[in-house]
Amino acid sequence: MDDSDPRVRLAAFAFLDGQRQAIELLSRKMLAAGFQFDGQRVPLLGPQGIFKPRLCRLPLSITTVPAREGQRRPYEDAFGEDGLLRYRYRGPDDRPQPDHPDNAGLREAQRLRTPLIYFHGIVPGRYVAEYPVYIVGDDRSRLTFTVTVDERRFASLGDAQPESTETEIRRRYATRLVQQRLHQTEFRERVLEAYQRHCAVCRLKRDQLLEAAHIIGDREEHGVPSVPNGIALCSLHHAAFDAHLIAVRPDYHVEVREDVLHETDGPMLLHGLQGFNGQLIRLPRIERHRPDRGLLEMRYEAFRRAG
């Protein structure tokens, strides 16, 4: 492999380390601009999903674009039942071809156990970066590669390391954690976007303090990670909602639990919880994004039992 290739990968990982310390979601514009290496610009992604910058001999990154409202992703990359990512082959006009040069590049990365970067689109224009990832399988019949994530500290740059059962177990665990994190991040971003990044109760706009609350928990039967099963809440009102101290009724009004209403505990309780009793929540402008009234009814019954 060219000497510059592993050094570019190491520099790309270090660049992303710095970016992720400041923000979790990275803009496509910033990733396309990339970073400087030996006086040359190195983009991290391109128009196509499999991307190889000029200074690398093998692909540096693979990308799953975000799904747009009411549309499917052009390539349906998905996590399998084994928890590993299935990444679709590339081909012209969105028709995957096994022998496309980009697919051949990923096969060579698999053979050499070369680490790559995986960019997963959360919402249009914003991505989560996971690295290192490795190509560990190639299924021509299903036109997919199998991709696994590893912990950052185990990135192998230059010398291929022998794989073991311990390595496989560690990577499967890391990949499952990434899958969970991606689903949580997608849910949060879609809910916050629907509420224009405001708390539905107090209208707080501070993004660092906003969360996506499930109306029905994601481990319950009706707890699907969809916007109508979510409400944007600040950390205080999310905690109060989860503890059944407050509820959002099916008519979209806040109800504070009776014992909390009659409690005396200073201005925080008065202005943080009691003062919102009976208030209409801030609703998404798009009607289909508004809380599902049936789910709110189920949640409200749990609130009444708790009280």
133-191 pLDDT tens trace: 999 999 999 999 999 998 777 665 544 556 678 788 888 888 888 888 888 899 999 99
Tell me the per-residue pLDDT of 88-119, one tens digit each, with 9 for 90 and over.
998 876 688 889 999 999 999 999 999 999 99
d(CA 164, CA 178): 21
222: pLDDT strictly greater than 90: no
- The predicted-structure confidence for 23-54, as pLDDT tens digits, reads as follows 889 999 999 999 999 999 999 999 989 999 99
The mean per-residue pLDDT over the stretch 281-303 comes to 96
Amino acid at 199: C
Look at residue 255 and tell me whether its pLDDT is greater than 50. yes
Give the residue extent of every domain in the chain.
Answer: 4-191, 196-306
Residue linked to tokens 């028709």: 95
Q: Where would I find the beta strands (DSSP E) of the chain?
A: 26-27, 35-37, 40-42, 50-51, 61-64, 78-79, 85-88, 116-123, 126-139, 144-149, 210-214, 230-234, 246-248, 254-256
The pLDDT, as a whole number, for residue 282 is 97
Looking at residue 67, its pLDDT comes to 73
Structure tokens of 58?
């093998």
